[in-house]
Structure 1
Amino acid sequence: MKLQFENWILSQEIPEEAKTLIEESIICYKSNAYRAALLFSYLCFQTIIKDRMLNAHKPDNIPEGMWEDILKKLRNDDTWDQTVFDNLQRQQPKDIFFLNDDIRNQITFWKNRRNDCAHSKNNIISASHVESFWSFLRSNLPKIMVNGSSEALLNKIKRHFDVSLTAPSTETSYIINEVPYAVEENQLNSFFSSVFEYFKENDGVLWDINENYNEFWDKLFILNNEIVSNQLVKFMKSEEELIMNFLRELPHRVNYFADDNSFIRNLWYSKIFAKGGILGDDLKLYCAILRNGLIEGEELIEAHKKIIWKYKNSIPDQEGFYILKESGFFKVFKDVALSTNLLGSFDWANRNKDIIAFYLEKFPIDEEIVRNITWTFKSSDYPWHLRKRLDSFLDENPEKKELFIKKLSELSIDPPSYLNSISGTASE
C-alpha cells in the first residue's frame, strides 16, 4: 500500500533521478531502515533543487560569470551537493531563492541530520525524523523556486496546457504553487499577460478544450497570497474578455473585485447581458453581486431597471429566485415590464417571453397586469412569440387563466382579441 507522502511526491513534477531516490527511501522506511530512508530523502530533495537551478534562467543581479560557475559546479558529481546547499543559504549579492530565515535554518537542520546518517554518528534517527522531513518537503518544496525564473515557469505552463504532452485533467497545483516564488511582484502583470496570450493562441479564451483555464486563474486566487491576488485583480480588470469569461463561469468570485465600486457599477451597467453574454451565466453573476451586497441604496433600483431593459430571458434557479425576490428585483420587473408599454416592445417582449411567464407563475396576476396584457394583445400588432408563450402558460395553469378572466369581468374589460387562451379567437 502506498503512503500518503508517496502519492504526493510522485505526483509532483520532479526529475526521474529524484523519483528513484525517493522510491529507495520509501523502501527503506517500510523496512525500518530509517537512517537510509532519511539519507535517500535528503538526496532526493537536493536533486530536485539542483534540477530547478539547472533549468532556471539566471536570477537578476547575479553576475553572469558567477551563475555560469554555479551551473558548472552543479554538473560536477563531486561538488553539486555542497553547491546546492551553499546557494540555498546565499543572500549576497542577491538571494537565488525566495527563502526566509526559518526555512534556511530548517535546511541546515536537515543537512546535519543527513550527516548523522551518512557518518554513523550517535544521534538516533527514528521513523519520526523521516516523517518530519517528509512534512518539511510537502510544506516547503513548492516555495523553493529560483528567483527570476518566470520564463521557465511560463514554459512549464505551456507544456501543461499542450494536450499533446499533458492530459487535460492533470492537476495544476504544482505550477500554481510556484508563482509567488518564481515571479517577482513587479513582473506579475507581464507574466499574467504572457499566460493569457498563450491561452488565447492555444484555444481561444472562449473555446477551452482543456476546460480548466478559468480554474487556473481561480487557483491563483485560492493561494491566498495577497501580492499575487492584488496583481491578478488589476490584470483581469484590464482584460475585458478574460474577466467576463471568468466571472460568468465563477460568479461567486466577484467578491475579489468588491473593493472597486466603479468596477462593480460598470459590471452591471455595461457588461452584464451585453453582447457576448451567455444565457443564464449573466443572471448568476448579477445574483452574486446582489448576494454579496455590492449594490446599495438608490443605486439598487437603478441597477434592477438597467438589467431588466437588457434582460435575455434567463430563468433563475431556486437560490437566484430567492436573491432576486429579496432584493426587490421582481417588484421593479413588474413596474418596468408588466405595467408599462415595454410589454408591447417586439424585441424585448419576444426575447423575454419565458421570464414573463415565470413571473406570472410565481406572483399574483393583478389589475395592472391584466390591463397591460389585454392592451398588448387587443390589436394584430403584437409580439407573437410572447403571445404563443402566454397562451401555452395560461392553458397549462387553469387557475391563473380563471383569475385573469375573473379580473377582466370585474374591470368590465373586453378579452384581448389576439390571446387565444383567453378570447378563444384564432389569429395568425
Structure 2
Amino acid sequence: MISFENWLETNQSNLNNDVYGLFKDSLRCFKNDIIRPAYLLAYQGMLLALREKILIGKMPEGFVEQEWRKICKEITDDGSWDEKTYDRVVQKAKDDGSKPAILNMSPFVREQFQYWRKLRNVCAHYKDFDFIPAHVLTLYSFIISYLMKISVEGGAASLLMEFKDYCDPSKYSPTTPLNPLISKISDMVDVEEMEDFINSVVIVVAKSHNRDYNAFLKALLFLDGANNESVKSSTLIYIKSDIERRNRFIEANPELVGYILETPVEIREYWKKFLKYSQHPYIIVDSLLENGLLPADEIEELFYLLLDEGYESGRALLDIGEKELDVLKRHGYFEIFLKSYFNESYIKKRYRDICYKTDFYISHLSYLEIDAIFVKKMVELFSELPFPYTLRDRIRDELWTAEPFKSHFEKIVKENEIKIPDDFLQ
C-alpha cells in the first residue's frame, strides 16, 4: 500500500494549505514517536478537508437555500466547527428519501467516522489508554483509501465535473494536460464505480474535439502504481467492449496490439479479419512476433496474408523501420516473397498486372539481401520476354543505378560466374 507520506505529496495540489499543513505536522510527530499528537493532527486535518468539501459542494436536492447557508455558517464557526462538521459528516439520508446525506459515501465508510471520533476523544482525554503507532497508521490508511472519494456530489461525480471543465475550451486551453486529473482517478473513484466512471469520462473527452481520444485511453492504461490497477482493467474492458473501438485504438497505437489482444483466439481473429485494413500492418506484426504471440506454425500463413494484400492493393512496404525490418528478415518474410512473388512462373503469368504493382515490388526488392539466389532470379526474369517492363524500368532507374545495390550485384555476378545478357535491364 502507498505510504501516507507519498499520498500526501501526490495529493498536495488537491488539499488546501491548512489541511496539508496539519497532515504534514502529523507525519513529523509520528516519525518522532509522538503518537497522540500525530493522531489528533491527522484527525483534525481530515475533518477540515471534509468541511471544505461541504463548503465548495453544490447544494444537494432536498435542501433549501436558507437551510444550506445555515449549515455552511455552522461549520465555519471558530468555536464549534469540528463538532458541527462531524455531525454533518455522519448525517444520513432521510428514510423517506426526502433529503439526502450531505456527503456522498457508502454506509460502511460513514460508520467509520464514529470510530475515529471515539478514538480521538480517547486520545485527547484518557491518558492511561495505551495509544500506539498502529492507531495512527489505521487512520492514515483510511484517509488514503477514502478521503478523496468523499464529496457532496460523490468523488466520481466531482471528478467527472472537473474533466468536463478541463475539456471546455472556454475554460481551459486544449493544450492544458489532463494528467493532473488522470492521477486523481484511483483516489476519488471507488473500484465498484470504476467501469461506469471510465465509460462516462471517455465520452466527455471524446466529445471534446481538441483532445486526442486514443492518447487519453493510452494514458489511462499506463498509469503508474499498484493502486491504479482498477483504472487500467476498466479501461481495457472499455476498449475491448466494442470491436470497432478496439481496432481504432490498435490503429492509433499499433505497438500495443499484444497488450490489447490477450488470448490466442483474439490475436488470430484480429490478423485474419482486420490486419488488412490497417495502415501500420508491419508495426503490428513486429509487436506480435517480438512478444512471442504468434505460434510458429502461423507465421508463414500471416506473411502470405500480408503479401497477398500488399500485391492486390499494390501497396508499398510502408511504415517500416530498422527494427521491423530486422524482425521480418529473422522470421523469413523476404524468403517467402522471393519464393512466391518473385519467381519466373509467377511474374511471367502476371506480367501485365504487375506493371501496375511496381510500388509493391520495388519496396520489397530494395530491402532484400543481394545474394546469388536473388541475382539469378533477376537475370532469369528480365532476360527474355514477357516481363513487366514498368518494373524493369523502375529497377533500372531506382535500384540498378544506386549504391551499394549495383556494386553488390556485380560482385555476386563475378563471384558466381553468372552470365548476363548485353541488353539486361535496357
User: Normalising TM by the smaller chain, what interval?
Assistant: 0.5 to 0.7
- In structure 1, the partner of 2:78 is none
Mapped partners of 2:356, 2:327: distance in 1? 27
Tell me which of 213, 216, 233 is aligned to 1:213.
216
Please report how far the alpha carbon of residue 74 of structure 1 lies from its aligned counterpart in structure 2 after TM superposition: 6.4
* Aligned CA distance change for structure 1 residues 196 and 91 (closer, same or farther; 3 Å): farther
Counting aligned pairs with the same residue, the percent is 18
* Aligned CA distance change for structure 1 residues 136 and 385 (closer, same or farther; 3 Å): farther
- In structure 2, the partner of 1:152 is 158
Mapped partners of 1:21, 1:214: distance in 2? 36
Tell me which of 315, 327, 339 is aligned to 2:320.
315
User: Contact conserved, 2:25 with 2:41, CA < 8 A, in 1?
Assistant: yes
Tell me, yes or no, if structure 1 residue 332 matches structure 2 residue 336: yes
Please report how far the alpha carbon of residue 185 of structure 1 lies from its aligned counterpart in structure 2 after TM superposition: 4.5
Equivalences, count: 392
User: Contact conserved, 1:312 with 1:351, CA < 8 A, in 2?
Assistant: yes
Mapped partners of 2:316, 2:64: distance in 1? 60
Tell me which of 297, 304, 307 is aligned to 1:305.
307
Amino acid at match of 1:137: I
Mapped partners of 1:325, 1:359: distance in 2? 9
- In structure 1, the partner of 2:86 is 81
- In structure 2, the partner of 1:65 is 62
Please report how far the alpha carbon of residue 268 of structure 1 lies from its aligned counterpart in structure 2 after TM superposition: 0.5
- In structure 1, the partner of 2:23 is 22
Deviation readout 1:53-86 (Å, 9 max, x if unpaired)? 666679xxxx931798789746631422232245
Mapped partners of 2:114, 2:371: distance in 1? 68
Amino acid at match of 2:380: R
Following superposition of structure 1 onto structure 2, how do residues 332-351 of structure 1 map, counting pairs within 5 Å? 332-339=336-343, 340-341=346-347, 345=354, 348-350=357-359
- In structure 2, the partner of 1:193 is 203
Mapped partners of 2:175, 2:420: distance in 1? 71
- In structure 1, the partner of 2:7 is 8
- In structure 1, the partner of 2:239 is 232
Please report how far the alpha carbon of residue 385 of structure 1 lies from its aligned counterpart in structure 2 after TM superposition: 5.7
Amino acid at match of 1:124: D
Higher mean alpha-carbon deviation, 224-233 vs 144-153, is at 144-153
* DSSP 3-state at the match of 2:206: helix
Mapped partners of 1:242, 1:357: distance in 2? 31
Mapped partners of 1:90, 1:232: distance in 2? 39
Q: Where does the alignment leave 5 or more consecutive residues of structure 1 unmatched?
A: 207-211, 419-424
Mapped partners of 1:160, 1:399: distance in 2? 59
- In structure 2, the partner of 1:414 is 421
Tell me, yes or no, if structure 1 residue 367 matches structure 2 residue 371: no
Mapped partners of 2:304, 2:96: distance in 1? 58
* Aligned CA distance change for structure 1 residues 194 and 376 (closer, same or farther; 3 Å): farther
Please report how far the alpha carbon of residue 367 of structure 1 lies from its aligned counterpart in structure 2 after TM superposition: 3.4
User: Contact conserved, 1:99 with 1:144, CA < 8 A, in 2?
Assistant: no
Please report how far the alpha carbon of residue 264 of structure 1 lies from its aligned counterpart in structure 2 after TM superposition: 4.7
Mapped partners of 1:143, 1:37: distance in 2? 23
- In structure 1, the partner of 2:34 is 33
Amino acid at match of 2:143: L
User: Contact conserved, 2:358 with 2:391, CA < 8 A, in 1?
Assistant: no
Deviation readout 1:132-185 (Å, 9 max, x if unpaired)? 533443455566577766553233235567458956775832235545559564
Deviation readout 1:387-418 (Å, 9 max, x if unpaired)? 454236653684554224556x54x4426634
* Aligned CA distance change for structure 1 residues 382 and 228 (closer, same or farther; 3 Å): closer
Tell me which of 202, 205, 209 is aligned to 2:210.
202
Tell me, yes or no, if structure 1 residue 173 matches structure 2 residue 183: yes
Mapped partners of 2:393, 2:95: distance in 1? 75
Amino acid at match of 1:76: E
What is the Cα-based RMSD across aligned positions, in Å? 4.9
* Aligned CA distance change for structure 1 residues 392 and 202 (closer, same or farther; 3 Å): same
Please report how far the alpha carbon of residue 49 of structure 1 lies from its aligned counterpart in structure 2 after TM superposition: 4.4
Deviation readout 1:207-258 (Å, 9 max, x if unpaired)? xxxxx6354242379944355532332257337655521x236444333587
* DSSP 3-state at the match of 1:122: coil
TM-score normalised according to structure 1 size: 0.68
Following superposition of structure 1 onto structure 2, how do residues 250-269 of structure 1 map, counting pairs within 5 Å? 250-255=256-261, 260=266, 262-269=269-276
Amino acid at match of 1:402: K
Mapped partners of 1:150, 1:356: distance in 2? 56
